[in-house]
Amino acid sequence: MVSRNVAALADTPRGQEGRPSKSLTPGQAVAIIAAAQALPVMELRPGLKDVRRPADLMYAYIVLSLLAGLRTDEARALRWDRVDLDGDPHAAPPVPPHVAVWRSVRVHGDTKTDRSRRTLALPQAAADALRDLHDSQAREQAEAGEHWQDTGLVFTTQHGAALDPANVRKMFKRVCRAAGAGDDWTPRELRTSFVSLMSHHGVSTEEIARLVGHTSTRTTEVVYRRELRPVITTGAEIMDKVFRAS
């Protein structure tokens, strides 16, 4: 019925440009993991409740996100009944310790896409960190008694409630400062770093997309992957081989 788009006559406000995601270098990643493990207690600021937790909370969160590539909304929604820290070494083929990433904190609890539902083997460091966190959470549950909220979540406050994303960001920034990496990092950049580190070590874009649950390798290539080498040497190395051979 309308021959033209009348909305085109209006001047729409320009939104603020978001900051592009960055990636940790291998050295920064190692330093952040070490800093998370070394800090005995996380306290964001006086007066805040339910944010004072032993270091194993952020250590496990960082190690799992960085070494397995989980989204922040997937990590905060992860439940213990989706974590298998033993696996089945006697199965054929053997089943390693793993996490089933089938939920997120999005509306209705769905993952971002159908491809995002994936079951990932756990690196040894991540499995160990989750075991320590499980023991720590059991002690907190015993101390909290009737005040404990039985959410079944892996990453919780000291009373079992879901973590507030703002508090996660603040705790992560403190770890980054302690590691000497500055405080301009966000937890979602652990996932970007996972993609970049995988690519840096020669893993194909297709396999990385499968690991992180992308529906398209273009998302992996354009949005997530960052070149970690200061100088790209691939072209020079190949041409040296070609023309040295000739």
Report the C-alpha gap between 13 and 46 in whole angstroms: 39
CA distance 173 to 162: 19
* Residue 115 designated active-site: no
Query: Cβ atoms within 10 A of the Cβ of 112, count?
Result: 15
Write down the catalytic residue from 22, 79, 112, 159. Answer: 112
Q: Which of 53, 98, 118, 224 is catalytic?
A: 224
State the CB neighbour count (10 A cutoff) for residue 133: 25
Q: Is 170 a residue of the active site?
A: no
Q: Of the listed 53, 71, 98, 173, which one is catalytic?
A: 71
Reply yes or no on whether the pLDDT at 68 is more than 80. yes
Give the model's confidence band at 33: pLDDT under 50 very low, under 70 low, under 90 confident, else very high: very high
Q: Are the CB atoms for 124 and 85 separated by under 8 Å?
A: no
Span 101-156, pLDDT tens digits: 877 765 555 555 556 678 888 989 999 999 999 998 998 899 889 999 999 999 99
| CATH architecture of residue range(s) 21-245 | Orthogonal Bundle (1.10)
The mean pLDDT of 211-224, rounded to a whole number, is 63
Three-state DSSP at 153 gives: strand
Distance CA 2, CA 17 (A): 33
The answer to whether 112 is a known catalytic residue is yes
191 is catalytic: yes
49 is catalytic: no
Say if pTM beats, i.e. exceeds, 0.85: no
Domain assignments of the chain as residue spans, ordered by start? 21-245
Confidence at residue 93, expressed as pLDDT on a 0 to 100 scale: 85
pLDDT digits (tens, 9 = 90+) for 173-193: 999 999 999 989 999 999 888
